A and B are shown apart, each in its own frame.
Chain A
Amino acid sequence: MSEQAHEAVLRVEDLSIVYRTKRGDVKATSQASFDLHPGEALALIGESGSGKTTISLALIRKLPKNAVITSGHIHYQRDGSVQDVLKLSNRQLREFRWKDCAMVFQGAQNAFNPVLKVRRQFEDTAQSHGWTDKAAIRERALKLLELVRLDPERVYDAYPHELSGGMKQRTLLALGVLLNPQIVILDEPTTALDILTQRAIIDVLNDMQRQLRFSIIFISHDLSLAAEMADTVATVYAGEIVEIGPVNDIFYRSLHPYTYGLLTSVPTLGHMQDHLQSIPGSPPNLINPPAGCKFHPRCGFATDACKKEDPPLEQDIGTHLAACWHKDRLLESRKEPV
């Protein structure tokens, strides 16, 4: 365990976040823990309102004002020294964001300032982090724009409105890695893009990661994207990480009924008809979540134990963990893998 802990570039421990609202505290994240290793791609998979975006915003300390972190640590390691992101001063945070950990938000259309050329937006970013040599900025930017398969000279001197949605998304990825961060967080990187544009973005991301060797955390509701890009997948339900493990373990040997339920509710393009089933009910209200395991009201395996006590996120084999009292029954119930 200790060796891995040493290697992790990011170690999230026991992170809990609530939003204070008039109707009560929304428990958006409860005791989330995970490690992110150098060069690893981690997918946080969950439905709307599951708390996956809250976790990622906490990592760069960009939570909305009514959010309160009630417990936990976020250890970040660079060049052998470890810091707790939750204890950084404002000045340290400015350094940490973008240079160490960059976030590419959903909706690339709106992320650029429409009245500034792409060039200015690259220069502003680099200069506010201490770069002064414009030629050097230009050189780095052109190299990155080429890496994302754009015509670098043309895009660098373009206004955002001259670029298509897919081009903007790729320009944003290039801008995200301008300062050579160790971690890149991507919020729904392909949502709202057309199928062929999505394919281009996925290919570009894979290329970039191979060449620049950063770690990725991506947040998505799209299981196919996780299947394609992730090394590790974490399923988030009602603010909790209910299962985490290597991508093949999650897809072929899922141990949590929610993960399994998601997998059996997604159609494929295989040559036979799919046998699909929705998960009954709907996700709980996080002001008054159900007692015990939060998934029990929708779960076919639920027993009295599930209503009373929340199962811990426990190791199964290797690095595959799941929070369920009935992992064995789920495995037994499946005659063949999904």
Chain B
Amino acid sequence: MPPPILELKHVYRSFKRGREVIPVLQDINFAVNNLEFLCLVGESGCGKTTTGKIICDLLPPSAGAIEFEGKDVARLRGAEYRRFRRSVQIIHQDPYASLNPTHTVSETLSYPLLTHGLAGGRRGLRQRVHELLDLVDLTPVEDFIDKYPHQLSGGQRQRVSIARALTTEPSLIVADESVSMVDVSIRIGLLQMMMDLRDRLGVTIVFITHDLALAKYFAWEGRIGVMYLGRLVELGKTQEIIRNPQHPYTKVLLSAIPEPDPEKTRNKQHIQLRSEDIPRLTELPPGCSFHPRCPWFVEGVCDETIPQLISLPAAKSEAEVACIPLERGQELVLHDA
């Protein structure tokens, strides 16, 4: 297997609020393989956006390392660091906030090209902007190139954001909830376009979302990482996670989500949590953070030891899972709700 394009090694990140220290990410380990479809999913506050920012070095980790093509990003200097910056780009969630309202589409796309010296003269610049708009299906290009963001719809703006991320010919793009704010009827079109870009331009996309169904669609041939309160709790092949989830949190999530099919969604078995309260990041419970809510909680085990993300011995699934009873091969026993 070729070396991964990017790897997170024991990454921690905390933020300070007054005297409080909020641990947003704890011991995150995963690799992004070249051209794979990788999706990070989790509810709000699980640390998925922070992970995305750390991948792009928009935030430094509090501890741990990010390796890009085998080299520690924190040690890259000069031309090497600039190459990393060009190679890793991000598309933000909100196309209304992420585009400068006083810049036309053409200006928005020209600045990165000029900054990184990728333009090749005035003619070349206009030519390249044309190509980029063509790539994201904003055609006929002349209708869009001189527009301001307020003259575009949400979906069109998000296409401009995507084009902007492509200006530097990156090898890795982090797409953070990049289709969540566009209407349902055009969401899939945007996602399909991003999936095509991987084949056309050879760019790897890490997709971050709270929507497991969307993650399944995007990463069907790839992997999903499920996050809960700052840790990865399950990481594995998408098809395996959807068909045979292992971690209790993944199981509960999949059982809870309504589906666009009346018969199916009304006959779904919902697993009841022991508690609906989500712990605060500043007052995380000891042991596994999910244990106060976990319907399969084992006293004296789950509330004492922090589980690590590892492959399961019984090989029910190839996924890596952070759950001590599963690690020990124990049969899970459901608590009464």
A residues with CB within 8 A of B: 47-48, 164, 166, 194-200, 202-203, 221-225, 227-228, 247-248, 251-252, 261-263, 265-271, 273-274, 276-280, 282-283, 338
Contact = CB atoms under 8 A, between A and B. Distances in A.
A164 B278 contact: yes
Contact of A227 (B189, B217, B243, B259): B259
A47 to B, nearest CB: 4
B217 A47 contact: no
Contacts of B153: 282
A223 B276 contact: no
Given A278-B186, A279-B185, A273 B217 contact: yes
B257 interface: yes
A180 B305 CA distance: 49
B186 A251 contact: no
Nearest to A274: B217
Contacts of B210: 194-195
B136 interface: no
Interface secondary structure of B, over-half rule: helix
Contact of A225 (B242, B258, B263): B258
B334 interface: no
B43 A196 contact: yes
Q: Which of B243, B252, B261 has the most CB of A within 10 A?
A: B261
Categorize the interface residue count of chain B: 35 or more
Interface in B176-225: 183-190, 192, 210-214, 216-217, 220
A194 B44 contact: yes
B184 A47 contact: yes
Contacts, number: 124
A222 B276 CA distance: 23
Contact of B216 (A48, A227, A267): A267
B184 A269 contact: no
9 contacts: A47-B185, A164-B278, A195-B212, A195-B257, A199-B258, A224-B260, A276-B188, A279-B185, A282-B186
Interface string B259-293: 11111111000100100111000000000000000
Contacts of B266: 227-228
Given A227-B262, A269-B216, A195 B256 contact: yes
Contact of A200 (B43, B253, B276): B276
Contact of B183 (A48, A202, A267): A48
A224 B265 contact: yes
B259 A273 contact: no
B254 interface: yes
A252 B263 CA distance: 10
A307 B252 CA distance: 48
A225 B259 CA distance: 7
A319 to B, nearest CB: 16
Contacts of B43: 194-196
A276 B44 contact: no
B304 to A, nearest CB: 24
Contacts of A265: 184-189
